[in-house]
Amino acid sequence: MIEVNAYFYKDRVYMEDGREYKLGEILLQYLLALELEEDEIDLLQWYHECKRYCEFLRYPETKSESFVFGKEFKRAIIFYNIIDDLIYSLPPYFSRHREQNPLYELLNSHKWMFVREYRDDGIEREYYEQFRVNSYIENFDCASMINDGLKLNEELEQLAIEYFTFMEDVLRVIKVYIPLLEQIHSKNRFLFNEEIADLMLNFDKKKTLETKEYEKLQPSGTMELSYKPLKIKEHTVLAEHYCFTTIGTFLYIELFKGLQNHYLPRRCDYCGKFFLLERTTYANCCTRTVEGTNGRTCRDFGVAKKYADKVKDDPILFLYLRAYKRHYARYMKKRITKEEFQQWAAYALQVRQKAQDNEMSFEEYEKEMKK
């Protein structure tokens, strides 16, 4: 259900459905989607519910179990439909055809084990909906029925683990990947390999025995790697072909390939949303258009804010800009000529440089800028 097959070639990821992504782009989609989801739902509650179903989602094997496990199936179908909504809203699953709820289909493949359901005309339903249990496996009277019951429980356990692992991967994006990315970008530049290694050592040292699995930087499943020809437009290339058992393992590989190739999500300093950094340019802000600003972007505002912060923290630069605006206003009002303004501007730059080089005191500099 949650397996992922992907080709990696240079700075691109090619999915089996033909979609092409930049390296790091799928991780970016999870970061964007899950930060929004965290405001609306309690992902931890879903995680714990999935964990509970790993134990309770089973056909009762004994009479005593029938009182505990016999009422869970319909509720579980409704719950897994909610998780499916999340799964199929994210890549690479959103391009897949959404099948009927896997639990619903599984139970109907063993419907003889549940109370029969009939239509209004008295004909037995082709598909059940209630899945009421009125027996247990120890009460079955032949080996084939017992084996079928035990097989159903194995399939139920595997299904519950898949949903639980997906929720674990979702929480890992929030609890591990976001803090890690913030540390990676703390120097506001791409890191060298040695710096990444040191960062990873310190990041892992914080882990304790009490750390939850979703708080560890690790793949949640397994993968198989092979090299296969991949047709890209008119050319055929030799690409790395991965078969991942979980989305968490895919995101783990994509993260580290992004680290190696400088394709990483980063949080925008202006709007606070994640965007994808590409190796050509390191930037602190994204290029999303800011609403109501005639096409100006976060990066436009970010550069201006960075400069304003620099001015605010630099009294020499602050005095220079204030004097510059004052003289420019005089020029615009024709109180001074263009030549007079240009002469002042050249002189002001020389004075500013002397103040920055400590060749004049700040008091002397301030007096010059007020002329």
- pLDDT reading at 335 higher than 90: no
Count other C-beta atoms under 10 Å from residue 57's C-beta. 23
What is the model's pTM? 0.81
- Summarised one tens digit per residue, pLDDT across range 115-162 is 999 988 989 999 888 898 888 999 998 999 999 999 999 999 999 999
Rounded distance between C-alpha atoms, residue 40 and residue 19, angstroms: 29
Q: How many other CB atoms sit within 10 Å of the CB of residue 68? A: 13
First to last CA, the chain: 75
Residue % of the chain over a pLDDT of 70: 94
Edge-to-edge strands, sheet with 223-232: 20-22, 12-15, 4-9, 235-244, 223-232
Please, are residues 163 and 79 in contact by the beta-carbon 8 Å criterion?
Answer: no
Maximum Cα–Cα distance across the chain: 107
**Is 90's pLDDT higher than 60?**
yes
Instruction: Give the integer Cα–Cα distance in Å for 204 and 235.
Output: 42
Q: Which residues contact 329 (CB under 8 A, 6 or more apart)?
A: none
Average pLDDT, the chain: 89
Give the residue extent of every domain in the chain: 28-188, 314-369
Query: Which of these, 303, 299, 280, lies nearest to 290 by C-alpha position?
Result: 299
More confident position, 72 or 87? 87
Q: How confident is the model at residue 35, as a pLDDT? A: 78
Q: Which two tokens stand for residue 7?
A: 């080709």
pLDDT of residue 201: 87
Would you say residue 364 has pLDDT above 70? Answer: yes
Mean pLDDT for the stretch of residues 51-79: 88
Question: Is the predicted pLDDT of residue 308 greater than 80, yes or no?
Answer: no
